[in-house]
Amino acid sequence: MNDTSAVKDALRRQQIETPSWAYGNSGTRFKVFAQQGVPRTPQEKIDDAAQVHRFTGVAPSVAVHIPWDKVDDYAALSAHAEDRGVRIGAVNTNVFQDDDYKLGSVTNPDPKVRRKALDHLLECVDIMDAVGSKDLKLWFSDGTNYPGQDDIRTRQDRMAEALAAVYERLGDDQRFLLEYKLFEPAFYMTDLPDWGASYAHCLKLGPKAQVVVDTGHHAPGTNIEFIVAFLLREGKLGGFDFNSRFYADDDLMVGAADPFQLFRIMYEVVRGGGYDPATGVAFMLDQCHNIEPKIHGQIRSVMNVQEATAKALLVDGDALRAAQESGDVLAANAVFMDAYNTDVRPLLAELREEMGLHPDPVAAYKASGYFERVVAERKDGQAAGWGA
């Protein structure tokens, strides 16, 4: 796409979801650094997410994580979000934090633990009904640490059984997004280690089961854009958990470690029709801001995704195809690199002004005084949920 106004129209439609847990205190297993002004309640996390939308204009939803965002009245939580100009997006499940899950959740050898885990997943679908959410995000920490610890095949049977039960419970306009992860916290074998395993389970279940690609969940050097192209072609790409990694599941800001990779991923999204809202690819962030300010970090991340998307939309498709079809390797690569090397910041600043926003979201956020206000108002903010 070369026409700037068409690129701008596409960017105006973009929707990037921020995670409630990004606004709380987080850290590593060595230390959680408490920051000032962090939310004390799920409502306050939504308030912070609303700031990200207010200044970027493209982050209209916030993902919740249960039970970190547990409340008595979910319809009221949803109304609170709407009142702040955002909505609740994906409901993230949590079957990794109880002592019961030491040997796994839905793949645990103990049927009572499996039942407990499944009940939680089903409860999360009830919450989806209450908040009007269409996406259930499933991530399992299940796996084993030692060869022989449990039977790999039997654990797959247990996984399939639980996924089928969740699938059955989904409403017509709901789906689940199944995450995979190479390792951690299990270090020998993970029950859903890669996209192939997630894909196979989803394929068996049907159209309401799709794969979510967390960009931090692969072995170093993995060609993530290939996975994206493949899943989109098969109609099985449900969405992204965007973040950056240098080493493992670092959960750093998306586009910070490898902006070129992010561009290549977004190019495949655009190329495969995943940018069309009808395809339903969810662009979610899954990040922690351990040492940097959190709202600012989310704004920066949303802008990083926007920049990569703008560059992907700028790839001259006709020139690329012509070069590819004539076997002109270097010309094809040059077309691709031309788009990547374009400075899209002026275009995005212009777009924001057209949308009635400040051209520089970070400057506008800093000038708003929101951070100083919450620092004064909120004492003893909440940990994001883990590690504290």
Contact with ligand AOS (CB under 6 A): which of 55, 74, 139, 365? Answer: 139
Binding mask 231-250 for ligand AOS (x = CB under 6 A): ----------x-------x-
- Here the tokens at position 318 are 């006709």
Residue 135 touches Zn ion, criterion: CB under 5 A: no
Of 95-103, 219-227, 245-253, 367-375, the segment contacting Zn ion by CB under 5 A is: 245-253
Decide whether 92 or 382 has the Cβ nearer to ligand AOS.
92
The CB-nearest residue to ligand AOS is 139
Contact with Zn ion (CB under 5 A): which of 241, 244, 303, 314? Answer: 241
d(CA 168, CA 315): 41
Determine contact, residues 201/178, Cβ cutoff 8 Å.
yes
Beta bridge partners of 61: 17, 87
Residue 140 touches ligand AOS, criterion: CB under 6 A: no
Q: What is the total count of residues that contact ligand AOS (CB under 6 A)? A: 9
Contact with Zn ion (CB under 5 A): which of 142, 225, 268, 286? Answer: 286
Decide whether 48 or 241 has the Cβ nearer to ligand AOS.
241
Taking the complex as a whole, how short is the minimal distance between the CB of residue 212 and Zn ion, in angstroms?
7
> Tokens 């690819």 label which residue?
281
Going from the C-alpha of 331 to that of each of 255, 276, 316, 321, 322, the distances in angstroms are 26, 28, 12, 10, 9
Residues of span 210-229 touching Zn ion by CB under 5 A: 214
Going from the C-alpha of 96 to that of each of 5, 138, 157, 350, the distances in angstroms are 46, 11, 19, 44
Binding mask 193-212 for ligand AOS (x = CB under 6 A): --------------------
Of 126-134, 165-173, 246-254, 370-378, the segment contacting Zn ion by CB under 5 A is: 246-254
Taking the complex as a whole, how short is the minimal distance between the CB of residue 174 and Zn ion, in angstroms?
19
How would you write 272-301 as a 3-class SS string?
Answer: CCCCCHHHCCEEEECCCCCCCCHHHHHHHH
- Here the tokens at position 385 are 């949920």
Determine contact, residues 122/269, Cβ cutoff 8 Å.
no
What contacts 24+ positions apart, CB below 8 Å, involve 3-7?
A: 4/347, 7/310, 7/313, 7/314, 7/347
Decide whether 219 or 337 has the Cβ nearer to ligand AOS.
219
Decide whether 58 or 212 has the Cβ nearer to ligand AOS.
212
Residue 249 touches Zn ion, criterion: CB under 5 A: yes
Residue 214 touches ligand AOS, criterion: CB under 6 A: yes
> Tokens 């799920």 label which residue?
42
135 binds, among ligand AOS, Zn ion, none (CB under 5 to 8 A by kind): none
Decide whether 69 or 214 has the Cβ nearer to Zn ion.
214
Determine contact, residues 28/387, Cβ cutoff 8 Å.
yes
Contacting residues toward Zn ion, per CB under 5 A: 214, 241, 249, 286
